[in-house]
Amino acid sequence: MGLLDRISTPADLRRLTTAQVEELAAEVRSFLVQAVSQTGGHLGPNLGVVELTIAIHRVFESPRDSFIFDTGHQSYVHKLLTGRQDFAALRRREGLSGYPSRAESEHDIVENSHASTALSWADGIAKANMLKGHRDRHVVAVIGDGALTGGMAWEAINNITASQDQRLVVIVNDNGRSYAPTIGGLAHHLDTLRTTRGYEQFLDWGRRTLRRSGPPGRLAYDALHGLKKGIKDVVAPQGMFEDLGLKYVGPVDGHDGEALDRALSRAKAFGGPVLVHVITEKGRGYSPAEQDVADRFHAVGVIHPETGLPVAPSRFGWTKVFADEIVKIGEERTDVVAITAAMLAPVGLAPFAARFPERTFDVGIAEQHAATSAAGMAFAGLHPVVALYATFLNRAFDQVLMDIALHRAGVTFVLDRAGITGDDGASHNGMWDMALMRIVPGLRLAAPRDEPTMRRALREAVAVDDAPTVVRYPKGPLGPELPALETVGGVDVLTRSQGSAGARVLVVGVGAMAATAVEVGSLLADGGIDVEVVSPTWVVPTPGGLVDLCADRDLVVTIEDGIVAGGVGALLAETAARAGHRAPVRQFGIPAVFLDHASRDQVVEASGLRPADVAAAVLADSALPSSDEADRTARL
């Protein structure tokens, strides 16, 4: 029985000796490698915070003290130390979430997988503690150096320092990389901190020298004071934090348990806001991750624990199609530039960056800045392509609306992981984008269904120079191509079936749901329905050709992998009604709820989006002629 098996609550950690803490850290790393290699998950970040998380729990007392992780993917060790050691179903339905979860434990506060929010949470909790008289409670926010590139973090610091009585400890987990090496001025600032002994040591030497030479005269004192002021921002950039009113401790070796205990204890005893700067190594203790320069171990699928190689090779996916096509476009057009927010490789921009480094801009975790900076580039004659995960576009909605659309800026957004992503849980499903973007005046949105329509949509998008465009695609491997029988009014017709029941149904498959729509059409045809299945690539605004296809139908069915409330189907219903078409539009999509982590297939089933579910609901629809309903249902 190892030490980890004896840890059921954080209090158990405080009884350990220094040697036992080191032994526990080794056990935790071994556990993480073995467990995460079988389920997939965020491996590298958690291997880097083992000693840090142990030290936090030894010095502070959760849940009386509040712990917040930014981002929450570095919370696996926290889970282990708070009694959650069954990782067999990590990120699977009814298993542990890949992020903190209030539903799992009283030790979890924020399910924050959208970065740079922890300090605002911490500020709010600390202020509430003060107002309620809880002077014995501390708030600890662990923020990765990458998350400090987000503007919200600095808004929070500005407010934290205004309340000097707050029991709040900010721990900067500085490993020099978020998804990729951390970029920007803050990265250079932290690089300097890593390699500086600190100006206070220099000043101590100066004071000792003056004491040896007799009572310090005014000139010597002034010289020392001036020297301190002059070297403050050169030798000791921690002065930036102290000038803001935030007490600075560090840098501290994030893999030295004793040093961490001392530093955190000093921060706890200070009685006001403190920043503890901790240097860690992402992937610590796991050779494949330590030797990896491409950061493949930030998040992994199922891998061989001994080698770190995937158990099943990745199939050619949507992201690779974008990566290939944007390079081709870049070779043809020198005005096309690429922007991303700390996710160069995950969104497929690494090949573009390698080919056109001077035309690639990684702005850090700053989606709002990315959008408005793109507006400026468009004004100055470029065509920016902003590549993000779909879920993170939510953070820049105001900038899309007011900085880009209002100014008719030619900016293209490419949204990876759109629709259902599943195992990363509520915050990562890219299900909001179509409902949000459809209300932006002048914006055009494409949802390609396969590789050819993806490549074509991207080219069509970057050809628009007087309005924002969006191209969205799902997570994962590509499905088979779905060629069109013909194109009618700009809308691809995928299948047609002549039925005997006299009912005429139009099925509209949006993007990745086009394959589902084809299966639904086949099932309806088996039920005697006269059905036509179409897939418009451009869905916002509603194509005129699609509106025309709604004429003379008994029922129009839309299937999308975005939220159904206010989605593409709702937009079609509104547009068709204004055009005088009376056929009801039956909309199928994701309900407007936060979805628990589960596989994509499980989410599809729970949302009633399997082909058989949709077909059965359509056949039972009161809008269809009812004479042969029982026969149709029996055939289905």
CATH at residue 385? 3.40.50.970
Do 331 and 460 belong together in one domain? yes
Do 411 and 525 belong together in one domain? no
Is 115 assigned to a binding site?
yes
Sort strands 412-416 and 538-540 into parallel, antiparallel or unpaired. Answer: unpaired
Do 390 and 246 belong together in one domain? no
Q: How confident is the model at residue 302 (pLDDT cuts 50, 70, 90)?
A: confident
* Final residue before a domain boundary, out of 405, 440, 472: 472
Do 128 and 265 belong together in one domain? yes
Q: Give pLDDT, residue 195.
A: 45
Do 520 and 398 belong together in one domain? no
More confident residue, 379 or 196: 379
pLDDT of 46 higher than 60: yes
Q: Give pLDDT, residue 292.
A: 66
Is 118 assigned to a binding site?
no
Q: Which amino acid is at 597?
A: H
Is 367 assigned to a binding site?
yes
Q: Give pLDDT, residue 233.
A: 42
CA 584, 590, 594: angle at the middle one, nearest 5? 145
Domain assignment present for residue 426? The answer is yes
Q: Contacts by 305-313 with C-beta closer than 8 Å and gap 24+? A: 305/33, 305/34, 305/37
Question: Is residue 612 within 8 Å of 527, Cβ to Cβ?
Answer: no
More confident residue, 457 or 3: 457
Is 287 assigned to a binding site?
no
pLDDT of 616 higher than 70: yes
- C-alpha count within 13 angstroms, C-beta hemisphere, residue 11: 2
Question: Is residue 560 within 8 Å of 513, Cβ to Cβ?
Answer: yes
Task: Express as a percent the part of the chain with pLDDT over 90.
Answer: 45
Question: Is residue 360 within 8 Å of 326, Cβ to Cβ?
Answer: no
Q: How confident is the model at residue 217 (pLDDT cuts 50, 70, 90)?
A: low
Domain assignment present for residue 418? The answer is yes
Catalytic residue among 51, 325, 367, 560: 367
Q: Which of 161, 171, 172, 126 is nearest to 245 (CA)?
A: 161
**Paired residues of 386 in beta bridges:** 339, 413
Q: Give the containing element (helix H, strand E) for 495.
A: strand 491-497
Do 105 and 249 belong together in one domain? yes
Q: Give pLDDT, residue 253.
A: 87
Catalytic residue among 79, 167, 282, 417: 282
Q: How confident is the model at residue 636 (pLDDT cuts 50, 70, 90)?
A: very low
Domain assignment present for residue 3? The answer is no
Give yes or no: 61 in active site.
no
Do 113 and 250 belong together in one domain? yes
Distances in whole angstroms, Cα of residue 155 to Cα of each of 116, 160, 378:
10, 9, 28
Question: Is residue 100 within 8 Å of 112, Cβ to Cβ?
Answer: yes
Q: Give pLDDT, residue 41.
A: 79
* Final residue before a domain boundary, out of 440, 472, 504: 472
Q: How confident is the model at residue 481 (pLDDT cuts 50, 70, 90)?
A: very high
Q: Give pLDDT, residue 177.
A: 53
pLDDT of 559 higher than 70: yes
Q: Give pLDDT, residue 186.
A: 56
Do 517 and 550 belong together in one domain? yes
Torsion sign over Cα 110, 113, 114, 119 = positive
Do 448 and 505 belong together in one domain? no
How many independent structural domains does the chain possess?
Answer: 3
pLDDT of 24 higher than 50: yes
Do 520 and 445 belong together in one domain? no
Is 114 assigned to a binding site?
yes
Domain assignment present for residue 35? The answer is no
Q: Give the containing element (helix H, strand E) for 174.
A: strand 168-174
Domain assignment present for residue 68? The answer is yes
Do 411 and 546 belong together in one domain? no
Domain assignment present for residue 252? The answer is yes
Is 389 assigned to a binding site?
no
Is 175 assigned to a binding site?
yes
Do 464 and 504 belong together in one domain? no
More confident residue, 558 or 84: 558
Q: How confident is the model at residue 630 (pLDDT cuts 50, 70, 90)?
A: very low
* Final residue before a domain boundary, out of 408, 440, 472: 472
Question: Is residue 247 within 8 Å of 167, Cβ to Cβ?
Answer: no
Question: Is residue 279 within 8 Å of 251, Cβ to Cβ?
Answer: yes
User: What's the mean pLDDT in 150-175?
Assistant: 86
Question: Is residue 597 within 8 Å of 425, Cβ to Cβ?
Answer: yes
Q: Give pLDDT, residue 204.
A: 56
Domain assignment present for residue 585? The answer is yes
Give yes or no: 282 in active site.
yes
Is 189 assigned to a binding site?
no
Catalytic residue among 29, 395, 455, 475: 395
Domain assignment present for residue 377? The answer is yes
The Cα 556–Cα 233 span in angstroms is: 66
The Cα 509–Cα 494 span in angstroms is: 10
pLDDT of 560 higher than 80: yes
Sequence length of the chain is 636
Q: How confident is the model at residue 505 (pLDDT cuts 50, 70, 90)?
A: very high
Q: What is the CATH number of the domain that holds 529?
A: 3.40.50.920
What domain range includes position 106? 57-75+97-196+237-282
What's the mean per-residue pLDDT of the chain? 84
pLDDT of 209 higher than 80: no
* Helix-, strand-, coil-residue percentages of the chain, each rounded to 5: 45, 15, 40
Give yes or no: 367 in active site.
yes
